[in-house]
Structure 1
């Protein structure tokens, strides 16, 4: 007998970094229990910095593409997680999700400085997300 996976959608503004990294992390760590997606309130492109930060820990998101929430209309999600404050303001409740939660992470795209400063910001967000995902999804919890 197969167990139905819990469907999780991560949402940020542009679906370029935070939601993409969260999707990759949850799928890599707990993909046996969760079917994972990501979307934005608007479409962009996946950040090369996010791809590089994830590659450093052995997770390949280079095949991901930026999507909008409209692509998921008509589908049902068990949990939607807004991972940025702006997406949470625009969509405090995702109508096609049974439950919407918010956990905001720093926008690494706004960090200025050297290439190492920027890479460090993406690593920091990645690591904070990984810890949160382990806490919230790792112990059979469903936020």
Structure 2
């Protein structure tokens, strides 16, 4: 088994609920194997309070949580992603940035 830690980016429109929750969950269950990030095509600017409440009720760390745009992860100094998962159909139909490193991409419509 490889000792690599894989970077994973979860995308949705607002980066306020689905992608934030996916980031928190993978960072816990995949610790040491995966490092998760999240972003939105049209970030809302704030995380959905119900998403935060749910994560906190399950003892997930939410200190990382902020709504941010996907362009942040296309910058030259951004972490290079190994996997990018789009979590909604509407975001999948948008023109996204060119991701450094040519990550594997998939649509997980939830």
Name the TM tier (shorter chain).
Answer: 0.7 to 0.9
Number of residue pairs aligned between Structure 1 and Structure 2: 103
Tell me the residue number matched to 2:32. 32
Q: Which has the higher helix share?
A: 1
**Displacement of 1:94:** 5.9
TM alignment of 1:37-56, pairs within 5 A: 37-44=37-44, 45-56=46-57
Superposed CA RMSD: 1.8
Q: Indicate which of 95, 98, 107 corresponds to 1:95.
A: 98
Q: Which runs of 5+ in 1 are unaligned?
A: 106-143
Tell me the residue number matched to 1:10. 10
TM (norm. structure 1) is: 0.66
Q: Which has the higher contact order (CA 8 A, sep 6+)?
A: 2
Q: Is the 8 A contact 2:8 2:82 kept in 1?
A: yes
TM (norm. structure 2) is: 0.84
